[in-house]
Chain A
């Protein structure tokens, strides 16, 4: 059974249907990338998976259980963590407070020691987060904010990590460091669903990928298949990997 099954979802903003009949699956332990240009429906798809938008048709199943009508906090508590586009940290909270909020459910159940253990894992992955713990998150650089945003999602110990354009607005060296972290996380068994506009980045680390165009899935395949697909090369890559 796949960890995530998206079945024929349709999502609209008022009259405008942005996602039309999208279906795909994410298996345990793999990285799946969704590619597409601006306005293709990538963010809308992610937001509907995590309960911030409702799909009017179809179903979304996580670990076999339908989450289509669940509230965002219920979905988060099932083990899905989204790193939203533009980081969306709480800027006036310190980095530590942002991480505490990421681990909200566990801290509410009194599992502070688990949170402390998670912090150690985070510091190993992103040593800079430790140095910035007591600073307001809004004062960090874009790259540091992205690390904190990923760390905030990870401290919830998710089964599925969803990332919306993690490379957006970051320096190439920072992008490299963050994508290296995704590979490390995968090797630790984490499942990742990545939405990325920079196709070569997404295809480099994923197992399978889908291309969204105009709200529908235009192409699907393994990373290698898509990297050598002439349509993908022309529209997103420019050259083959």
Chain B
């Protein structure tokens, strides 16, 4: 039982990261039906910036977090303007390739700036495990779970309680009708892309002490987060957190009790099964047209 709880808890921390990235897919999909397929690379950028600011320049993580968030938000605005919007305006699906191209560009640039060698980043809040009975958790893992939960709560409050959040949901339902309300749908679309980029940056900031800082650190994370967003339903942000945590625990249990090698095979098979059985996602709702 102890072993079960231990690996489940570790898995949940990883799952919180997956959830945080996965909700980024949901943010852009809901407003524009666009997916930033390179979101994992944005996670990497967040991680590498954290490495530079925290390790190389010795900046306190409390200052690193807002800087990383703002830089990635701003880069998200620029990337959306030049790699997504022109194709959306032309009614083309080429954004699939252009978002990926931006991601690969980021990896190449990261290799030029930081090199290919993985570099450790010390945890932000201590190295000693915290014990809850017999089960232990690293402070960094606890921080990840807490920050991810706070971010999801903030996002939920944003969607449900703020006028801008309600406008996001309105644009998700119909861009045309939202325009009739005086909502600048174009601005909301750009904003959603920038917010997704910033969330990926926060995920990179949180996860880099657990992985290593290196240009490929986000690629697999982004793919798994994509699987989670699909399983939960791209239009179901609340479900994405739950699915993220469960997927993390599932991965950890498969690795702990079976074999690490089949972890991703089972995970991605689960995504295909979910797509087959419920294309709108486990937590998604089928869109109904009312006449």
Contacts and interface: CB of A to CB of B under 8 A. Distances in A.
Contacts of B169: 90, 92-93
Contacts of B260: none
B267 to A, nearest CB: 31
Contacts of B186: 71
Contacts of B210: none
Nearest to B186: A71
B166 A73 contact: no
Interface stretch (A16-24, A79-87, A196-204, A225-233): A79-87
B173 A91 contact: yes
Interface in B136-186: 163, 166-167, 169-170, 173-174, 176-186
A52 interface: yes
B181 A76 contact: yes
A59 B166 CA distance: 34
Interface stretch (A35-43, A94-102, A180-188): A94-102
B180 A72 contact: yes
Contacts of B178: 73, 101
B180 A81 contact: yes
A104 interface: yes
A88 B182 contact: no
B170 A86 contact: no
A169 B84 CA distance: 40
Nearest to A52: B176
B113 interface: no
Nearest to A152: B181
Contacts of A97: 166
Interface string B62-88: 000000000000000000000000000
B182 to A, nearest CB: 4
Contact of B181 (A51, A86, A101, A138): A101
Nearest to A168: B291
Interface residues of A, number: 29
B290 interface: yes
Given A72-B180, A73-B182, A86 B290 contact: yes
A131 to B, nearest CB: 21
B163 A104 contact: yes
A104 B181 contact: yes
B183 A104 contact: yes
B177 A90 contact: yes
28 contacts: A50-B180, A51-B179, A52-B176, A71-B184, A71-B186, A72-B179, A73-B179, A73-B181, A73-B182, A73-B183, A73-B185, A76-B180, A84-B177, A86-B290, A90-B174, A90-B177, A91-B173, A91-B290, A92-B169, A93-B169, A101-B167, A101-B170, A101-B178, A101-B183, A104-B181, A108-B163, A138-B290, A156-B182
Given A72-B179, A72-B180, A104-B181, 7 more contacts: A73-B178, A84-B180, A90-B177, A101-B178, A107-B163, A108-B163, A169-B291
